[in-house]
Amino acid sequence: MTDALTRVRAAYARIKAVDRPEIWIDLRPQEEVEAEARAVDAGEGLPLAGRVFAVKGNIDVTGLPTTAGCPAYAYHPDEDAPVVAGLRAAGAIVLGTTNLDQFATGLVGTRSPHGAVRNAHDPSRISGGSSSGSAVAVALGLVDFALGTDTAGSGRVPAAFNGIVGLKPTRGLVPTTGVVPACASLDCVTVFARTLPEAEQALSHMATGTPPALPGRAPGPWRIAVPPLDQLGELDEGWAEAYEAAVAQLSASGAEIRTLDLTPFTEAAAMLYEGAFVAERYTAVGSFVDKLLTEGGEGLDPTVAGIITRARDIPAHQLYADMDRLSSLRTRALTELSDADALLLPTTPGHPTLAEVAAAPLSTNARLGRFTNSTNLFDLAAVAVPAGEVNGLPFGVMLIGPAFTDERLARMAGLLQPETRLAVVGAHLSGQPLNPQLLGLGARLERTTTTAAAYRLYALRTTPPKPGLVHVGKEGAAIETEIWRLAAEGLGRLLSTLPRPMTLGSVELADGSRIPGFLCEPAALTDAEDITRHGSWRNYLKRRGH
């Protein structure tokens, strides 16, 4: 079975097993997607060959309706949005469109006629919005990556709540053509993935803008700004400590920590919904919402409809006054950032339950945007990454920096995502059936080497076929091994799904170093064939005619 086809079939099996229908608005027929996978497999040199992805339901995908979470709004696009087209041209395969806060209005993931998208780790809590379905699809391993949008934080809040990465590029770097606007002057298309490398790879095939040459930064360690804790306001229990731990980790990694006044950022954040800027949401879909309300409002989320219709009556003079105030706040904010490469913040102040959002939909949502709302108003770039757990749930932080410092931000965020190495000898090797598991975690092949001459290799009676590696000492031989690099968190995910008789242990390499690698429980060797003489799993398969 070919690589892309294998991955597509595995994805649909996973979707069925997980049984989270609220994630999707439209899922493409499996037969249609399998045909596309066969065409991808027939091609050569496609950098994203076989990667499967999901698309937020306000972004155009040919063959599927674009609804923005409102069935009555649906239209059928003649072509893919450029961001989707770029990914497909690179070999990535769309599975479907995902649920969202209707018209991308919200940070909660509950404002949809398709139902609330529940959190990937705790179904009693919100997934975060508006890009809720895309984030949860990634977190649950249904897709390799997914597209969202971000106006007020929708590409970052769901990332934090579901323990994944969210890249919000500089406005203009990625085209928004083929995207139903929320606030057209602020909207960005974003990427969710389980690791930074995978998110960056996807983004590279979406960007059409050419970043301007940036002035060279002064040599030395990364300079990261943080506010005094009292300026963060009320945080959920344990979140201040988790944030301080992230600051300490960056400092321990060599970054210089500097203090910053957060006031202009939080004051601007409050303006996004409390001021006149929300009027742009009425410009985007207000006439449609008004018309649908006169017809009974079927399919309209009442909270979303209220936000959009109230924006209709904001006077023009308030907009100009708010623009003047925003300009002043932006100058203050950029001055605060002028001697730093980035600002580190918790992505949100807390993580509410579905019940809390239902009880207070507006105030709960407003709290979630305290740290994210100002980013696009100030024309900044951002990346949200996991930074541990609090009370068993993901905790996330984000790094915010000047426009077109996207690559720098990713490098700094990488300091919070420690990597490890993994020794692979069998079904996870390049081109083998289980290799997509590694690729889906953002793993990268570092080199091919051998183990120390202390191992024996056995062909196990498993499906799919795989070998078992066992340390035997002097009676052993050197076995061909691939060394892969991946995030430590990704290795934990892999271990949690590892079936018996496979285990993870310390593997000694030819150079004497030891790294984690796949080994085998001795009990599985009872009826297994010793294939050590072949020197590698690949050689054994060749001799068998596979």
Catalytic residue numbers, as ranges: 56, 130, 154
Distance set, CA 509 to CA 117, 434, 477, 481 (Å): 45, 22, 11, 8
CA 161, CA 127: separation in Å to the nearest integer?
Answer: 6
Other C-beta atoms closer than 10 Å to the C-beta of 211 total: 16
Q: Is the dihedral of CA 112, 117, 123, 129 positive or negative?
A: negative
Cβ-based neighbour number of residue 522 at 10 Å: 10
Residues in the chain: 546
Residue 453 has what DSSP assignment?
A: S
Residue 380 has a CB neighbour count (10 Å cut-off) of 24
Nearest-angstrom CA–CA distance, 70 and 174: 25
Give the residues across from 352 on adjacent strands: none
Residue 309 burial by Cβ neighbours in a 10 Å radius (0-12, 13-18, 19+): middle
Distance, in Å, from the CA atom of 404 to the CA atom of 406, rounded to the nearest integer, reads: 5
Cβ atoms of 149 and 66 closer than 8 Å: no
For 287, counting Cβ atoms within 10 Å of its Cβ (0-12 exposed, 13-18 middle, 19+ buried), the class is: exposed
Cross-strand pairs, 27: 96
